Every structure is written in C-alpha cells, then in structure tokens.
Structure 1
C-alpha cells in the first residue's frame, strides 16, 4: 500500500476528492494548493474524521518552480518518504487562438505542462533517491486528439502531459518506480459545472472513486471512468479528420 501520498491542486475538485478517499483508507497526506485557507479547513476536517493519519498542508503555486522543489522536499522530510505523487494541479480552460488571448493561453500552458514538468522533476528526484515511488500524471480524454476553439490549447497541454508520462515510463521500465497516465472524462467539478456540452459526465463522488481505483491499479494508462471513455477514446482518435471536424 502507498501510505504517504502527495497531491497538488488539493484544495478543490478532484484533488480534494482524492484526499478524502485516501484519508478514509488510512493514508497520510501531503496536500498543496494556492488556497492555503481551504487546505487548512480540509486538514481540520480530515484529521477530525480520521485521527490516526497525518495530514500536512502547504500553500503552493505550481508555477513557482523553485517552490515546487522546496515543498516536495519538505513534505518528504516531514513524512520520512513519499510513496505516491499525484500531479493534479491545472487550469481547466483556454481560449481560441488568434483572438487576443495569448496571456491566458500561455498561463494555461505553463500551469498544465511546464509546471507538470517541475512537479515530475521534484517527484522523480525523490523517488530515485528512495528507489521507489509512484508518479501519477493527470492528463485528459481531450489529450488524445486536437480540439477546436476554447479547448485547443487545453487539449494540447494534456496531450503533452500524456507524452511526458509515456517517456517517463520508458525511463523507469524495470525499475521500482511506476508512472501512470490518468485520462479523466467529464467528472463534475467547478471547472466544468457550467459546461453545456459535457457528455457522459458523472458526479464528483462517482468520478473520484473511479479515479482512485484507477490510480491504485498503477497501470501505465487509464481512462476514468473506464466506461465509456476507454472505447470512446479509440473512436475519437481513429475518426477521419473530416468526420471528426463535423462531430466537434
């Protein structure tokens, strides 16, 4: 069992949900996010509900790259080891290219991909020192193919994260370090609550339970929930360009 788990972006949505699930399983948690006040409230809640676990919290902007390394190392020192790191922090939207929104799209790219590299670097340094660990990179079903309009840059960042995960899997093949690429479909969070076109969306509790189960399987790649996103991902990827353009 992976006892000591670090989750970034843990103050809301999927990160918060995963923290609750693993706390109930008796895991020690290292939680970080920009909203330190929300983290502290979650810490109090989890420690009261599960007094046998440790819940450590630290404020962290994952685009402050030096701070990423400091926070990860600090958690490792306090807990003695890190068994699993979930690279979950991210921004859920972008803007159409060429419409004057470069700053917003750059922020999405930096948060979702460059910051994911920093988190992966920090985690892998620790895992290599320990000679053990499980790195979890949160991609998305949208990462299997390019998407138009507001999803263009977002989907590109998630494709990049998926490629990063696969490269790290090649690096760690045969070693006691596992790397998983998790690709969620639509799970209800504040990020997509107002999204009108969110097919097969599931509620947060259902989605988080499926997410934790997929992560704990430590497979190289997992779509969440498995149904219908695993078969749909192959359909999305294999559709001829003209058909895909009309469907999207």
Structure 2
C-alpha cells in the first residue's frame, strides 16, 4: 500500500538517496529543500522512471521556522495525510572551539538542533491531529560520545536530536500512542557533506548507505545504526572507551 513520506533536505545527499529508495517502493513523496532546481530534476527523473509516482516538491529553508510549519501543513493538506516525516536536513560546518569560528559553530547548532526541533514540532502537530504517523530523525554515530576538533559542535547537535527523539518516544509510550519515533545513527556514508573527510573508516557509497537507512526505517525499531555492520558494534564500543583511548583515535 502506498504511503506519503515527507523528507526534508531532499535535494541532495541522504535525503535524495532515500527519496529514490522510497519511490522504487511505490510511495508518494513530499520533498522539500532550499534548492528547488535540484528538487525539480529529481522529481522529473523519478516520475519518468516510475510513471505512477505522485511526487510533490516545495521550497524550504529549515532555518526559517515559520516556513517549516507552513510547508508541512501544506503537504498534509495536499495529500490528506502524511504517514511518515523524515527530519533529515542538516549541515556540517563546525570547527574546533576557540579558533575564531563561532559563526560556523553557531550556524551548525542552530540548523542541526533548533531547526530540527522546529521540524519535529511541525511533524508532531500533524501526527497528533491524525493520531498516527512515523517520525524519523537522522542523528549520527558521532552522537554516541563527545567528539573532538571540527566535529565537536556537530556531534553535540546530534546528541541533542537523539535526546529529543528519545524523550518523545517515552512520552508516546506512556500515552500508548500509535505514533512511532525512529532515530537513525548513520556511519560514514559518502555525500557532499563528508566526501572531503580523510579519516572516514568503513565509508560506503550513498546508494548502499541509503538502502541501509530505508531498511532500518522500515524495520520500525526505535534506534538503528546504519549500515548495521560495522556501526552497531562500533557504536557499542565508542560508548565505553575511556577518553585517553578516544583521544588516540581522532
């Protein structure tokens, strides 16, 4: 049965890759991002490949929080219902603290946490009214511990996003709500945001990574490391290694 899936940051990277995977499964797509030209190209490509696909696109800058609510509500009105919303949009501009790059760290913190909060608020507003839905948040393996240097702020935002998601899961479980929340912890998946990173162990290509993400989402589990191997055991170890050992690794 076809579902309607909203994906933010869908013009490139993981968002684009997940859109391709869900389109292949026959789902309807509500895609949004800042770069509408890329969204248009993606929509046209997918509709040519899957003629029966229903794909709608809208411009969205997630740092414009009022626009987040407007776009989510517009998609819900257009499709009638939204079965799944994937909070994917984010940036990775952070730098080591105290090196004169506060603006980059502030922007990373605002986009990856505050703007993610806005997306979660807008999604839950819709899901509470529907009394059903599946919220997916894209965190990172870096969220399992504090990370050094250029990813310190980035990792901290992903910790915050994961905590928001877990808190929401606890609330919904207590209320016995049918609304579900899944948190993904991707490892190194090759996209524009990390292709220049030299130390990227076990990095996989975007197609492999996005297939793993969609498989994890469809599993319905609360939390998933993706790809499952080797990041599930790596995540387990990272949470337990002493700081001196971590310092030698990064």
Shared fold, TM over 0.5: yes
Partner of 2:227: 225
Partner of 1:52: 52
Residue 145 (structure 2) pairs with residue 145 (structure 1): yes
Partner of 2:25: 25
Q: What CA distance in whole angstroms lies between the structure 1 residues aligned with 2:2 and 2:191?
A: 26
Q: Which ranges of 4 or more aligned residues in structure 1 deviate by more than 3 Å?
A: none
Partner of 1:100: 100
Contact 2:2 2:26 in 1 (8 A): no
Q: What CA distance in whole angstroms lies between the structure 2 residues aligned with 1:247 and 1:74?
A: 46
The Cα of 1:246 is off from its aligned counterpart by: 2.0
CA RMSD of aligned residues (A): 0.9
For structure 1, the 5+ residue unaligned runs are none
Q: TM-score, normalised by structure 2?
A: 0.97
Please point out which of 234, 243, 246 is paired with 1:244. 246
For structure 2, the 5+ residue unaligned runs are none
Q: Secondary structure at the match of 1:210?
A: helix
Partner of 1:189: 191
Contact 1:2 1:83 in 2 (8 A): no
Q: What CA distance in whole angstroms lies between the structure 2 residues aligned with 1:40 and 1:134?
A: 26
Partner of 2:202: 200
Partner of 1:131: 131
Spell out, residue by residue over 1:77-106, the C-alpha distance to the aligned partner (whole angstroms, 9 max, x if none). 000100000000000231111111111111
Tell me the matched-pair count: 248
Contact 1:2 1:84 in 2 (8 A): no
Partner of 1:165: 165
Q: What CA distance in whole angstroms lies between the structure 1 residues aligned with 2:57 and 2:104?
A: 28
Q: TM-score, normalised by structure 1?
A: 0.98
Partner of 1:117: 117
Residue 76 (structure 2) pairs with residue 72 (structure 1): no
